[in-house]
Structures are given as structure tokens and as C-alpha cells.
Amino acid sequence: MAVGTLVEVNYHPIEGVQLGTTQAGIKTPGRKDLVVIQAKEGSSMAGVFTANAFCAAPVHLCRHHLQEDSPLALVINTGNANAGTGAAGDADALTSCAELAQVLSLRSSQVLPFSTGVIGEKLPIEKIVAGLPHAVSELNANGWQDAAWGILTTDTRTKGASVQIEHLGRVISLTGISKGSGMIRPNMATMLAFVATDAQCSPTLTQDLLNQAVNKSFNRITVDGDMSTNDSCILIATGASELCLDEDSELVAKFSQALTELMQQLAQAIVRDGEGATKFISVEVEGGANTEECLQAAYAIAHSPLIKTAMFASDPNWGRILAAVGYAGVPNLDVNILTIHLGNVLLVEQGGCAKSYTEAAGQMVMDQEEITIKVDLKRGDAKEIVWTTDLSYDYVKINADYRS
């Protein structure tokens, strides 16, 4: 189940990037579960990773390899997270890098590993090693759609986006894929995402641009409030277009906007495919004194099980929204001046239910598949938006049966 119509993506190939996908039998026989991505020599890579202290072995190794070397290849497996696996997990992640490096004639430190799936189970490294040669044999510039399938876990659909921007009569392409459906919350959201561009960009600027885009996309989504051990987002800049971002501030601004919008598409696709989701909910908070208090109010709403279950039931129980704003922790909040809207329907003003509100008007909004909750704190100029889902019976079923 997913919210909204699946839109077919026209993946623009990125010159200097190839992707290969295969079936390694890691968890489910007959499904694509192993992906290799290779970038051309001279490419820049940057990464952002989970804030979970129990981060997975591949996350540890990715961070180390990005600091130690200039990576040119990625190896991604689904079906097993290789998290909570101690020293053995570290060794398995290193083995996957070493084996791919040998096939591609790279140094082991030039490979970044990624895993997603069940936590606490030993990685079937022998299956990954056996599958790598076939994945490499499948490397091609048009492998984005197969790779999008190859990284999924409980997802019901692939998630991809691709855009092009023009500058001085020339074109820069950006293409990306992501996965994620459950264990989704900020810092980072629980997911994997891989984005590539043919722009030329220094490693430092690549990292800065990625940080900015992640903060407005993957760090603004939540499904269930659970932070994963494996969150990773990678940006690859091959330089094949020979348009250099470091030398053109106008191009940097244009590129940054395009990258953020592309990552927002990928992030929102994760929410739309949230486990058991039947509603796509935008929580917009404006009028904050600063970003922090806008996000406090937004996440109080987005994480509330009472609000999320009311959304699933299409029940305009507006008192639950009012309560969440009240306990969000915004200091010295004046509840008599703030307003809350459900879609275009005014719910709350002057500390209580708006005089103009009717249950019928609220019900019309709640019956929709996509819903916006708007809060105006009337304290300043800050504004933030968070995207989330409802909480359904199917969410419980999916996670109760996750290991079966």
C-alpha cells in the first residue's frame, strides 16, 4: 500500500556512473538484492549517515573510507543490515569492500559498503562475494531502475528522481534513488539514498551541498519515530560535464536548489510508501522565533500516535493536534494567539475551537488522501515543514511479521 499514483521516472544517465544489480539470495530467493555502483576516476563523493550510536558496521567503514581515501565504488546489499554484529560485522563489511576492489582493480578503501534489512543477524558474506562478479558484469549507465529495485526492503515501490538544469547553454544532470518505508525519523531518516551528478565539484563543496540538501529533505520526514542503524546518503559528482561549481556562485545556487528539490522528491516518496500508510501528511509550522521551535511543534504533531491513528480513521479529532502543540516544548507559548488549520479549515484560535469551525468542514479535509496541518505560532518569521504518514493496522502487521 502506498499513497498517491506511482509516477514513472525518466532516469537521466550520469556520465561517469555505472550501476549493476543481481540476485545474490541474501534473504529472499529470486529477488534483486545486491547492487554495485562505480564512478569514474576523479569523481568526488560525500556522505551523511545515521546519528544512531549503534550504527551498523558498513556505516563505520563508510565514514573511515571517506576520510582515508577518494572512493569510486559502492556495494549495497538488502536483506541484512549487518548491524549489532560486533567485530564479525566489521570484518564482513571490510571483506565486501576488499572483494569488490579486487574485481574493479581498486584499493579496498576506495569502496563504500551499505547494508539494509534485519538488525542483529550475521551478514551472509559468502553470498555477497559470490554475487559480486555478476553485479559487476551488469554495470551500465542505464542501470538506475534495476538498482532502485535492488535496494528495497519492506518498500512496495521503487523511489527515484532525475532532473536537468541549464547553465550558460550547457546541461547538468542529477539522478538519484532511495529506499525506506519503516524505521523513519530524522537525523537521518531511516533510509539509503544514492544521488549522482555530472557536475564538477570539489569534495569539500560536495559535502557542504549534500549537508544542506539533506537538512531540508531526508531530515524532514518521519513515519514512526524510530531511527535506524544504517541510514546513509551519498552524493557523487563525476565532473563529466566540466561545469565547475567551485568557480561559479550563480551555478552553485542553481545546483543547490535542484539538488534539494530532487532529494525532497526522494524523501517524500519514502513517506508516501511508509509501512501501512494510507495518508500523506504535511505539517507546516510558521511564525516561530527560530527553526528549532518550529520543528519542535511539527515533530510533536508528526510523531503523535493519537494524531496518526485519527488520520488513519479520517477522524477530525482536532483536540489531539492542539494538545501536541501544547506539549511540544516551545518556551512561553501563548496559546491565545496561535492558530491551527486543517487544510484550509481554521481549527483553533483564541485558545480553543474556532467559532467558524464545523465538523462537516473538518471531515471533508480528513477524507482526503493528502492532508496539510498548518500551525502559526505568531512569534517570529521562522518556518519549517515536516512530512509524515498516518498509523494503520497494516503498520503493526508488517512489523510484527518482519522476521518471518
* Residues taking part in catalysis: 190
Find, among 210, 239, 228, the residue nearest to 41 by Cα. 239
**Residues with Cβ within 8 Å of residue 343, at least 6 apart in sequence:** 365, 368, 371, 372
Name the strands in the sheet holding 111-118, side by side, starting at the edge strand that comes first in the sequence: 17-22, 34-39, 73-80, 111-118
Find, among 67, 252, 96, 112, the residue nearest to 172 by Cα. 252
The helix-helix angle for 57-68 and 86-104 (nearest 10°) equals: 50
C-alpha 153: how far from chain center: 14
Contact between 164 and 157 under an 8 Å Cβ cutoff? The reply is no
Find, among 52, 367, 340, 334, the residue nearest to 187 by Cα. 52
Contact between 202 and 161 under an 8 Å Cβ cutoff? The reply is no
**Residues with Cβ within 8 Å of residue 367, at least 6 apart in sequence:** 314
SS3 337: coil
β-pair partners for 113: 75
Q: What is the CA radius of gyration of the chain?
A: 22
Find, among 66, 59, 102, the residue nearest to 82 by Cα. 59
SS3 2: coil
Find, among 298, 290, 299, the residue nearest to 382 by Cα. 290
**Residues with Cβ within 8 Å of residue 105, at least 6 apart in sequence:** none
C-alpha to C-alpha distance for 20 and 16, rounded to whole angstroms: 14
Number of C-beta neighbours around residue 2 at 10 A: 19
